[in-house]
Structure 1
Amino acid sequence: MSETDSFIEEVSDEVRRDKLFALYRKYGWIAGVIVVLVVGAASYNEWRKHTEIQAAQGFGDAIMTALTAEDVAKRSDAIALVAAPTSETQAFLDLLQAAAKTEARDRDGALALLDGLAANPDAPQTYRSLAELKAVMLRGASQDRTARLAVLDKLATPGNPFRALAMEQKALALYEFGETDAALGLLLAILEEPEVSQGLLERSQQLIVALGGTVPQSPTVDPTNG
């Protein structure tokens, strides 16, 4: 390599270094900000997780304290004082308070909570459906026939988590209305529902017998066939 070429290469290296330092001075702060953001985000996530765990523990402790009240009226008041961090936990509290009011024979107070939860668009649909079911059960025969059956029919649609329970309640309502055959048909249909609890199966079988029906026998498994 000639001296001229060597000189040109050295000059080029210096120019590149100057450009690199210029770029670093101009944009180097961005890398620093990115590092700060990454570290800050990780710290925030850890703080958020810790805060959420503490809030959940505090919420659970507050509920347990409220439920230990021996007087059911005071229990309802204590539940009402528990602060709910989310709409889901508030729906859960509404159900607990409604149960306490029902136990304390405050039917109107319980229905007000259940109806409010059922109509709350911010509450999870599962809680809203459960509130509707509990409300129709609490009203019982005092509710208008059309309104009562309309709620139960809606809850008994396929896919609803309380379908089988709503079918049971509708069967009881139909029996009260004097429609025994229709009630028996629903009770027999419950026996065919998938994932029905053992308790509901037993209640349905007992009601079928009580209404004069016949509980179908379970199919006998042939031990020689598979």
Structure 2
Amino acid sequence: MTETAIAWDTYSRQRPERRPVNGRGESTWFNWTQYEDHGPGASLLEALPGSRVLDLGCGKGGNAAHLAALGHRAVGVDISPKQLTAARDRWGQTAGLELHQADALEFLREDREGFAAVYSVYGAVWFTDPARLLPAIRERLHPGGRLVFSQRPPIEGCYGCQASYIPRGADEDPLVVKRWDYEPDAWEHLLAEHGYMDVHASVLAAPSGTRRVGTLVVTARA
């Protein structure tokens, strides 16, 4: 197992399971942000029912399962075996859902069918060099297809490749994974440089009544 897979397996053990139902009583739902019942839904992908949609860094599978429930051909990819075991345990019988254990770049290189939309929710787009990942995604998007991703906004002054630390036991050093942080205008410029159109990046405010950080949401079209 690679060091990256070990790191995300460790992270998986620290993450709570998705609730049985959300605040509206739904058993599947889409969530772009780190807050419950907050933000836009799957409509942000602008994908027609029956279209093939890719989740890069699907984690425990909740968003991909929701897309499958809506009638999409949902494909989830994650490098962590433990994340995918949790996803299969809960969502494995969902019609229209495929789950694959793979590196995001390797999966994109091997896929030949392509996608109407590719998305990442605090996932592989945040943790993969955009100089390598953005062209790979664009090659697999159908003409006019959407790339949408969300992640934590950057800390002021800390841009480009940064270190994320995943804690382990009290007597163990944390595991380190790389992430790529940019301000919204920098993401817009970067995506345009790689041939994307209709690029929009902004920070969605946290739920009202809180002083917590918002969520960076980026949309673009191939």
TM-score by length of 2: 0.26
Which of the two has greater helix per residue?
A: 1
TM-score by length of 1: 0.26
Higher relative contact order (CA 8 A, sep 6+): 2
Which of the two has greater strand per residue?
A: 2
